[in-house]
Amino acid sequence: MTRALASWRDGDARRAVLDFVRSVAAEVPVEERVAVFDNDGTLWCEKPIPIQLDFILRRLTRMAETDPALRDRQPWQAAYEQDHAWLAAVLAEHYAGNDRNVRLLAAGILAAYDGITVEDFEEQSERFLRKTRHPTLDREYLRCAYAPMIELLDHLAGNGFTSYIVSGGGRDFVRPISQEVYGIPRERVIGSTVAIEYRPDERGGTIVRRAEADYLDDGPEKPVRIWSRTGRRPLLAAGNSNGDIAMLGFAQHPDRPSLRLLLKHDDAEREFDYVAGAELALTEAGRQGWTIVSMRDDWATVF
C-alpha cells in the first residue's frame, strides 16, 4: 500500500494534515468537505515571476515591437526592456498595500488580450504552458507544480473532499490544465477575470474578453468568491502570501475540524527562499496557530 503523502517528511505538518483528514472522515458529512487552495506559490512555482505574468509579458513585448510608441509606457517598457526589477517591485508594493504601479500593470494586462475569444485565449494559454520552460528551474512550466501538494489533493479526494483552486491569477489561464496537473476539473477553478461578453454570430455566438476588469480574486475577495461559488465555509485552506490571509481565516470553524496551511518558501537549493509578500501571513500564522509548511524541512521532494 502506498504511503500517504509520500513526498512529505515525517513531522508536525504531515501529522497535522493526516490527523485533520482522519477527524473529518469520522465527523463531517461528505458534502461539507470543502478545501481551497491558492495557486501561485502554493500549488506551483511563482518565482522569479508568476507564470501567467511571463505569458502576458511576452504578449506585451510583441505589442511594443509592433508599436514603438508603447516602449515608453509601463508596463510595455518593462516587458520590452526585460526590466524584471520593476515588475518585482510592483508585486512587492502590492503585498505591502501600495497599488499605484499595480494599476499601470493591470492596464497593460487588460489591453494584452482585448477582443479575443475565450477559446482563443485558452488555446494560447495551454500552448504556452506546454511549450515554455521555467527560466531558472530547467523544466517545463507544467512540471513546476509541487509534488507534495498534488499528493495532498489526491489524499483529500480519496477521503471525500471537493477541492477548489482559488487563484489571484487568471481563472481562464489555469482552467485548461487544472484537471491534468491537479486533478481538479475546470469548473472548480476560481480566479481573477476580465469582463467578458457574448456576441452572436452564425456559428452560435461566442464570448470575447474585454479590456475591463471584472474582479481581482485576492485578499478579502477570496472568501467572497469561495462563498459565491460553493455556498460553504471551507474546512481546509492553503496559501502562501499576504493575499491569502482572509481565505485562511475564513476556514475557521467553531464546531468542525479545520486546517489552515501556510507554505513557507525557504529552500533556495531546490526552489527559492523568500518571505517578501508573506510577512503579514507568517505573523498571523503564529498568532492564530496555523500550520506552517516549510518547503525545506517538510518536503522530501519538491517537484
Residues 62 and 32 grouped into a single domain:
no
pLDDT in tens, 137-162: 999 999 999 999 999 999 999 999 99
Supply the pLDDT for residue 99.
Answer: 80
pLDDT in tens, 219-236: 999 999 999 999 999 999
Residues 177 and 223 grouped into a single domain:
yes
**Residue 121: pLDDT above 80?**
yes
Supply the pLDDT for residue 1.
Answer: 59
Q: Is residue 117 one of the residues assigned to a domain? A: no
Q: Is residue 136 one of the residues assigned to a domain? A: no
Q: At 67, is the pLDDT very low, low, confident or very high (cuts 50, 70, 90)?
A: very high
DSSP readout, the chain?
-PPTTTTBPSSHHHHHHHHHHHHHHHHS-GGG-EEEE--BTTTB---SS-HHHHHHHHHHHHHHHH-GGGGGSTTHHHHHHT-HHHHHHHHHHHHTT--HHHHHHHHHHHHHTTT-BHHHHHHHHHHHHHHPBPTTT-SBGGG-B-HHHHHHHHHHHTTT-EEEEEEEEEHHHHHHHHHHHHS--GGGEEEEEEEEEEE--TTS-EEEEEEEEEE---TTHHHHHHHHHHSS--SEEEE-SGGGHHHHHHT--SSS--EEEEEE-B-TTTS-B--TT-HHHHHHHHHHTPEEEEHHHHBS---
Point out the domain boundary residue: 92, 112, 132: 112
pLDDT in tens, 91-103: 778 777 788 888 8
More confident residue, 87 or 267: 267
Residues 154 and 245 grouped into a single domain:
yes
Residues 18 and 154 grouped into a single domain:
yes
Global pTM reads 0.94
**Domain containing 272: what range?**
12-44+143-298
Q: Is residue 285 one of the residues assigned to a domain? A: yes
Residues 67 and 158 grouped into a single domain:
no
Q: Is residue 220 one of the residues assigned to a domain? A: yes
Point out the domain boundary residue: 112, 131, 159: 112
Q: Is residue 27 one of the residues assigned to a domain? A: yes
Residues 237 and 258 grouped into a single domain:
yes
Q: Is residue 131 one of the residues assigned to a domain? A: no
Q: Is residue 221 one of the residues assigned to a domain? A: yes
Question: How many domains are contained in the chain?
Answer: 2
Q: Is residue 197 one of the residues assigned to a domain? A: yes
Residues 102 and 243 grouped into a single domain:
no
